[in-house]
Structure 1
Amino acid sequence: MIKQRCSILYLAHSGKRGDFLKIHYLTIGEVAKLSNLSIQTLRYYDRIDLFKPIEIDPINQYRYYQNTQLYYLDIIKSLKYLGLSLEEVKSVLTLTPKELVTYLANQEERIDQEFQRLIETKEMLQRKKEQIQSFTLESSMMDVCVKKIPAQKIVKIKTSNIRFNDIPNKEYGLISKVLEDVGSVFDTLYGGSYALKRYESLDDINYDYLFTHTVTDKETDINFEDVEISILPAGEYLSITFPLQEDTYEVCYNKLICYLEQHSIHVVPIVYDIWMPINFTASKEDEFIVELKIQIQAT
């Protein structure tokens, strides 16, 4: 009887002279305690042919395992820790040692890629937090100030005939496509650049480039005409931030021009305007905070 054999120790030769393994039978409850798995889990592993008992009593259906089988449970738990599904675990258990080494090397590469993605995601979260703080908590709202800004990586698209009041969905859609191709996402900041000068009307502003930021450092070839990865240079910038309401853009742009003239500041004659939505619900009216900034020439 199987129940009688449970208390008997068996000797099995391990393949080496004078070296023997002591084998005995364990109940499902004993295996559960030794492996720190539940009885329900062991029964499930049996049903899906992942880890089966060595014998089942035909009378009472009690499951019995050999103590040497615990080793395979350790392997299963290790593979699950790597993030494998039970189906993947079943497949891996059929591999030869050589095939397993190749498989684990591939898993290591996948984890490295995921780790890099998490680093980029964390950088995006940090920058988004800083952006929101910089825009919405700006103490000098609608006043000109000097900001020291680090270099910022962008994806930009060359444009023509894009005016202040245009909605360039096609251009930003293409930028979004490029970002996805390089493993990044749209930054939700909408940027543009145009020549610094006095304009009679906002309708006279003509954007040279539209852009958004990217968090990825991957080197990649851009396969779209007039689209490129570039850098907004580090340095000191004259900046003014304001909510986009009626004539606030024109008022703040003129403040920036007057400040330059009054203080005789030498700047790179390019205006960067950055639009950040502050209403994220599509059913509500659009709201934006805008920053205009101009790089001060280094002396």
Structure 2
Amino acid sequence: MDTRFSIGEVSKLHNISIQTLRHYDKIGLLKPAYVNEKSKYRYYSVKHFIILDLIKQCKAMGLSLDEIKILVNNYTSINSILDIITKQKEIVEEKIKELDSIKNNICFLEDRIQTVLKEGINEPFIKYCTERKFIKYSNTHRYTEEFEINLSKTLGYIEKKYGSTNKELVFPTSYEDFKNQEKLTYNNLMISINESMDIDEKKVITLKSGNYITINFDDDYKDTSKYYRKLVEYIEKNNIIVSGSFYEIYIMTRCGIDKEEKALGQIQILIDENK
């Protein structure tokens, strides 16, 4: 008679918990060779060791227990094994792409937050920026329900068409209007794009490379006027000539348990180096 091994011995030999072996028995994946009717103790044979090795190998490939059960029941069919392994490889490759995308998003956000903390918050400074590209969308006035609906539709469209990308929202606003009237008007929205996004150049807005007067903030995004004031004061105090509009850029928006909304962002305006 074949040597029988108790469930405890199999557990130790194969580094598998007794609870797991009992579960395998319950779902019909690995039935014991013999069960003592009185004690209900489970006993296994050497042949079960081969099946356990196969189960471990399949789990290492990420197969579900149902898929492993199919393999175990058809272990003599190389074609069935190859079919399941091939499908699993495709699933793993898709997961790798998804995880790479998640990692890129994490690294992007981590870098942006670290950069802001290094640069400092609430005080103007001059920062050199390389050329940046955005898609421009016409939108209704900010802080309205219609604006939020249109923004959600726009972001949903971009995600569906281009996948998960690192997106920064940018709101241009007139320098002259704020300087002369302290008026902030948000009628347009720009969303950052990257090289992997195939977009008609006619729809792309490019922010030139150059030195930008910049202020970082972490505050209620509905209360940014004070940061614009600081920028205007900095510009006038240092007799700086600027070009174009202000750009209010959002890195991360969040809402706490107290329902208070805050956003990490920055406001920039290009210095006119030709004057």
TM-score surpassing 0.5? Answer: yes
- 1:120 aligns to 2:120 (yes or no): no
168, 184, 205: which one pairs with 2:185?
205
- Aligned-residue sequence identity (percent) comes to 23
Deviation at 1:288, TM superposition (A): 4.3
Letter of the 2:107 counterpart: Q
240, 243, 248: which one pairs with 2:226?
248
SS of corresponding position for 1:193? strand
Q: Which residue pairs with 2:24 in the alignment?
A: 45
Structure 1 ranges of 4+ moved more than 6 A: 228-231
Q: Which residue pairs with 2:164 in the alignment?
A: 184
For residues 6 and 144 of structure 2, the distance between their equivalents in structure 1, rounded to whole angstroms, comes to 74
| Distance change (3 Å), C-alpha of 1:264 and 1:59 | closer
Contact 1:193 1:209 in 2 (8 A): yes
Letter of the 1:142 counterpart: E
Q: Which residue pairs with 1:82 in the alignment?
A: 61
Contact 1:157 1:171 in 2 (8 A): no
1:149-169 Cα deviation digits (max 9, x unpaired): 356676x45115536x65620
1:163-207 Cα deviation digits (max 9, x unpaired): 6x65620232123313542442786x5421245545543546353
122, 129, 133: which one pairs with 1:149?
129
Structure 1 unmatched runs, 5+: 7-23, 223-227
| Distance change (3 Å), C-alpha of 1:150 and 1:55 | farther
| Distance change (3 Å), C-alpha of 1:208 and 1:42 | closer
For residues 42 and 49 of structure 1, the distance between their equivalents in structure 2, rounded to whole angstroms, comes to 11
Contact 1:179 1:186 in 2 (8 A): no
Q: Which residue pairs with 1:172 in the alignment?
A: 151
For residues 81 and 204 of structure 2, the distance between their equivalents in structure 1, rounded to whole angstroms, comes to 40
13, 24, 29: which one pairs with 1:34?
13
Structure 2 unmatched runs, 5+: none
| Distance change (3 Å), C-alpha of 1:130 and 1:102 | same
Letter of the 2:84 counterpart: Y
Q: What does residue range 1-299 of structure 1 map to in structure 2 within 5 Å?
A: 5-6=1-2, 24-57=3-36, 61-95=40-74, 96-135=77-116, 138-139=119-120, 141-143=122-124, 145-149=125-129, 156-162=135-141, 168-181=147-160, 182-184=162-164, 190-194=169-173, 197-199=176-178, 200-203=180-183, 205-211=185-191, 213=192, 219=197, 236-242=211-217, 245=223, 247-255=225-233, 258=236, 262-264=239-241, 267=243, 269-275=244-250, 280-281=255-256, 283-288=258-263, 290-295=265-270
TM-score by length of 2: 0.72
Contact 2:235 2:241 in 1 (8 A): no
Residues paired across the two proteins, number:
264
RMSD: 4.0
| Distance change (3 Å), C-alpha of 1:141 and 1:68 | same
Deviation at 1:138, TM superposition (A): 4.1
Letter of the 1:75 counterpart: L
For residues 61 and 115 of structure 1, the distance between their equivalents in structure 2, rounded to whole angstroms, comes to 44
Bigger share in helix: 2
